Amino acid sequence: MIPKRSFCLPSNLCLLFLSKPKARIALAAMAIPAVLAIVPIGVVFILSGLIVNLMQVVSFILLRPISKKLYRKINKVVAELLWLELIWLIDWWAGIKVELYVDSDTFQLMGKEHALVICNHRSDIDWLVGWLVAQRSGCLGSALAIMKKEVMFLPVIGWSMWFSEYFFLERRWTKDEITLKSGFQQLEDFPMPFWLALFVEGTRFTQAKLMVAQEFAASRGLPIPRNVLLPRTKGFVSSVSQMRSFVPAIYDCTVAVPKNQPPPTLLRIFRGQSSVVKLQIRRHSMQELPETADGIGQWCKDVFVTKVVLLWSCLIGYGIFKFVPWSSLLSSWKGIAFSATFLVLVVIVMQILIHSSESERSTPLNITPQDQTKERLVQK
């Protein structure tokens, strides 16, 4: 296992680098034609995956009827034999750099407790980033997810997910509600800490989908999303209602890709092209959530409003972090004076905004003398 390197920042915030780009194979340091990587990697992945699937079939038939607990423990190890190949791909071959922001208390609990994991669906490899964090936390083989049914039929990986008790939905609530309730009941006696991932947006982020979400939000008087889609709360409400008795925590994850970095895709990974992904995890006790379905749904929507602010903070903070050393802004008196002037201007602009919002400075009502009724109402 690759050792974690971390250092603590103010406010008890820890920044962990979960990958080790310098240790990747030298050939992967340069962009290579995708076909040269896809063919050999694909051969190894498919053949080894079929062997893993066969092992899962045998254990499912022979062991699960006798002891579901033993089957789950063995399947965890078997599934990891396949999924670790994808961890190697993102971690060593492409050298994707995952920066994890999490407080120390949450970090100590990761991999040691059941958790419902909710996340925005920002890139093509969000699920791989989740697997990487799960692997570092020691629960890769017991990391589950709620996914669309089509994934179940993907050769090798989809089959391994089915044997690992992933949830597969048809996107028809009358059927999906039954599937979810049955799956949650099966998890009550899960013999090891598990993470159940739910992408509450229900689909991957694109600009076209963002425009649709913005139009819908405007029509309903909801906050206009800028960097995330509107959450679909039915599945989340069902998850919390059914699992709050045996799952102690919700991990609220926010994924962001800096604007000066190319978005990571599987094709780029096969080419050995690196990227940077930022991931923040906030832990919420399940008992903190409201009891009613409407309250749980509103809590989920509020969380996604917060993600917009966090995404902007990460992007701007990263830009400043890179710009200041590059520009040597603080290495001369002129640079220091410029920085101080900029901060003063920020304070002045914020003061102007604050003063302009005060009710005492609003435009007074202009009531014509003819409308005596309105004048009396205002005076009251």
What pLDDT does residue 15 have? 53
Domains of the chain by residue range: 24-294
What was the pLDDT predicted at 57?
96
Segment 257-271, tens digit of pLDDT: 887 878 788 778 878
Tens-place pLDDT, residues 290-323: 777 777 766 665 665 565 555 556 666 666 666 6
Helices (H), 89-224: 104-109, 126-137, 157-163, 173-187, 207-220
Position 69 scores a pLDDT of 94
Task: Examine the pLDDT at 14 and tell me if it is beyond 60.
Answer: no
Asked whether residue 367 carries a pLDDT value surpassing 90, the answer given is no
Amino acid code (one letter) for 349: V
Rounded Cα distance, 71 and 157, in Å? 19
Which bin fits 193, alpha (ψ -120 to 50), beta or left (φ > 0)? beta
Q: Per-residue pLDDT for 364 more than 90?
A: no
CA distances for 94 relative to 39, 91, 314, angstroms: 16, 6, 23
Q: How confident is the model at residue 371 (pLDDT cuts 50, 70, 90)?
A: very low
Quick: pLDDT tens for 42-83: 778 888 888 999 999 999 999 999 999 999 999 999 999 989
pLDDT digits (tens, 9 = 90+) for 96-134: 888 888 999 999 999 999 999 988 776 678 888 899 999
Helix, coil or strand: residue 254:
strand
